[in-house]
Amino acid sequence: MKLIKALLATSVLVLAGSGAAYAQNYPERPVTLVVPFAPGGAVDMVGRFIADRLSAIWGQTIVVENIPGAGTLLATGQVSSASPDGYTLLINSATVTMRAAIQETPLVDPAEDLTHIGRIGATPLLLATSPSLGVSNYDEFAALAKERELKYATVGVGSLNQFASEILRSAADLQMTPVHYNGGSPAMTDVIGGHADLFYGSITQVIPHVREGLMTGIVVSSAERSDILPELPSVGELGLDDAVIENWWGLFGPKGMDEAIVDQINADLNTVLQTPEMAEFLQSDGARPLWGTPEEFTEQVKSEYATWRRVANEQGIRPE
């Protein structure tokens, strides 16, 4: 019996040691980082920045692969079914919880079917209108939206744009209806051209058009004013606390990844996030780094997924 116990104890130590050694040797070959959006968007730019910095730390190439489609579910599904060896990773936004929330039976459950490696950053949203709408501030916008129904552009059913717009519509008692597009670029192009009335998206995505005078900035979705748009009110300042919402980015992997590898990637990711150049990169477009543990990220994903399922039921947001 003593011999058996000794052998079992030795086996446990060997297994624990092999996991640590596995993490120390990781990565031994190129890593693929999947981006569920087309090149050029906010998630793609953040992903490529992170990939470049982690590649320098690891001494290995990180190949960025863009797989847009199905509201990020195509890429998310491919990653969730990949080998959990740490060589296929996913960067996604809050959209990952929202797209799944509108499905009765989600193709990918973001709370259960992925490994939550770590948070990356967060940004408020910026509501901007078409110049043809003829409004210059929130009071004028709200008055018009109470008088007649406005068309808000989204990047698809169950997108961040739709959830944010519906939450604001409900909180401020506005009249707004969605018009869905296949991406942020065509959506904002139609707002600029006056074919849709407004777009409510991440500051990083919308602010270039506001700065160029192609769209009119109205309000930001944070509790307080944005440092880079101090002239615009926040929904919190307007007393619309239920409408406070942020977009975020995080790093995921397939379910079942080795805990030692997850911890190593998380530690290296947090190292990147706490550098001055990362803060400057994000803050230039109104975002901020947001680091933490895998456990904190898991808690956030599960909490938000439950919230968006409730909101989807209340607002009747369902796949078309």
φ, ψ (nearest 5 deg) of residue 239 = 85, 15
Average pLDDT of the residues in 241-269: 96
Residues 129 and 85 in one domain: no
Answer with the one of 226, 243, 260 that is the final residue of a domain.
243
Q: List, as own/partner pairs, every contact residues 228-236 make where C-beta atoms lie below 8 angstroms and the sequence separation is at least 24, other chains included.
A: 228/203, 228/283, 228/284, 228/285, 228/286, 229/126, 229/203, 229/286, 232/126, 232/138, 233/138, 234/124, 235/168, 235/171
Q: Write down the pLDDT at residue 94.
A: 93
Residue 244: both structure tokens together = 């406070």
- pLDDT category of residue 145 using cuts at 50, 70 and 90: very high
Q: Is the residue at 84 inside a domain?
A: yes
Q: Is the residue at 80 inside a domain?
A: yes
Q: Is the residue at 5 inside a domain?
A: no
Tell me which of 34 and 5 has the higher pLDDT.
34
Q: Write down the pLDDT at residue 12.
A: 46
Across the chain, mean pLDDT equals: 91
Residues 209 and 251 in one domain: no
Q: Is the residue at 201 inside a domain?
A: yes
Q: Is the residue at 254 inside a domain?
A: yes
Cis link prior to 294 (omega < 30° from 0)?
no
Q: Domain range spanning residue 71?
A: 31-123+247-315
Give, for 294, the enclosing helix (H) or strand (E).
Answer: helix 294-315
Q: Is the residue at 135 inside a domain?
A: yes
Q: Which residues pair with 220 in a beta bridge?
A: 126, 234
CA distance 108 to 114: 8
Q: Is the residue at 20 inside a domain?
A: no
**Residues 73-105 pLDDT 10s:** 899 999 999 999 999 999 999 999 999 999 988
CATH number at residue 80: 3.40.190.150
Residues 39 and 58 in one domain: yes
| Three-class SS state of 184 | helix
The structural domain count of the chain equals: 2
Q: Write down the pLDDT at residue 5.
A: 46
Answer with the one of 243, 276, 301 that is the final residue of a domain.
243
Q: Is the residue at 137 inside a domain?
A: yes
How many alpha carbons lie under 13 Å from residue 168 in its C-beta half-sphere? 36
Residues 236 and 253 in one domain: no
Contacts of residue 169, defined as CB under 8 A and 6 or more positions apart, other chains included, come to 145, 175, 176
Specify burial of residue 153 (Cβ count, 10 A radius: 0-12, 13-18, 19+). buried
CATH number at residue 219: 3.40.190.10
Residues 224 and 164 in one domain: yes
| Three-class SS state of 117 | strand
| Three-class SS state of 124 | strand
